[in-house]
Amino acid sequence: MNTLIGIMALVIVLLIAGRIINRIVSFSGRRAWLLIGGYLLLLVITVPLIYLVPEARKDVRRSEVVLQAERANNAFISAIQQGRLPPLEHMHELSSWSFRYGQPELKLRSFHWEERVQVLVKRNPSLGQEIRLTWYSTPYLLLEYPYDFTHLLALPEVELSDDTLIIRNLEMRMKKELIHFLSESHMHSFTGEDRRTYGPRVMWGQECLYLEVPEHLRIIASDVMNLIFVEE
């Protein structure tokens, strides 16, 4: 039934277009030829223009953004496996918090915690009566653009209540609009493109919460939080 409706719609469009063409074909004159030549000229000008814009061509595979993200991810995984803080040069510091705290014990409580987020704890003798938290992430990328959307990640709310540090992951949703230019579908058999693979490819970032505490503070965390004590 849908096919029939589609065909009928197409036939109607063809008939209307035919009538329009019929009416216009009898039109002649210099102005029409100026229009035809002008149209061609205008479109020919787009060829140099399109290659001149800064976003003309992107070699995503060789893009420094992508290479840096790959390096950052590899360094992160390797550092976590060795029980140390990943190198900071390719990581985004998303947020940091600092609290005065003088008690011998600290409870970590989380809401909507994601287990993939590592909690790195460092005992820092120079801190005295202070605890510091820093949220780091390696880049999150949409590869085709390449677009680093790490800054769009929702940051948790952190608050200190008596002897408990509460980390609340937010569920707010942020929207981002992107534009994807596709080659025409009749080109695909020649270029080998497959439009089914046009879903954006994502390079996931790695996140960690870096917690610096006084040397003798005892930490009690819920099971979902994977604490890694780092030395350096």
Element holding 119 (H helix, E strand):
strand 118-123
Contacts of 34 (CB under 8 A, 6+ apart): none
Nearer to another protein, 89 or 184 (CB): 184
Largest CA distance in the chain: 94
What does the alpha-carbon distance between residue 209 and residue 156 come to, in Å, rounded to a whole number?
10
When binding is defined by CB under 8 A, the residue of 2, 28, 81, 197 that contacts another protein is 28
Least Å distance, CB 229 to another protein, is: 26
Q: Verify binding: residue 173, another protein, rule CB under 8 A.
A: yes
Q: Contact between 25 and another protein (CB under 8 A)?
A: yes
Establish if 220 lies at the interface with another protein (CB under 8 A).
Answer: no
The amino acid that residue 46 corresponds to is T
Q: Between residues 196 and 216, which has the closer beta carbon with respect to another protein?
A: 196
Binder among 198, 218, 222, 224 for another protein (CB under 8 A): 198
Q: Which of residues 92-151 bind another protein (CB under 8 A)?
A: 114, 140, 142, 144-145, 147, 149
- The encoded tokens of residue 73 equal 């991810």
Q: Cβ of residue 143: shortest distance to another protein, in angstroms? A: 10
Question: What is the distance between the alpha carbons of residues 209 and 221, in angstroms, rounded to a whole number?
Answer: 13
Q: Rule CB under 8 A: say whether 5 interacts with another protein.
A: no
Interface pattern 63-102 for another protein (x via CB under 8 A): ----------------------------------------
User: Could you give the CA distance from residue 53 to residue 68 in angstroms, rounded to a whole number?
Assistant: 25
- Residue 218's contacts (CB-CB under 8 Å, 6 or more residues apart) are 104, 105, 106
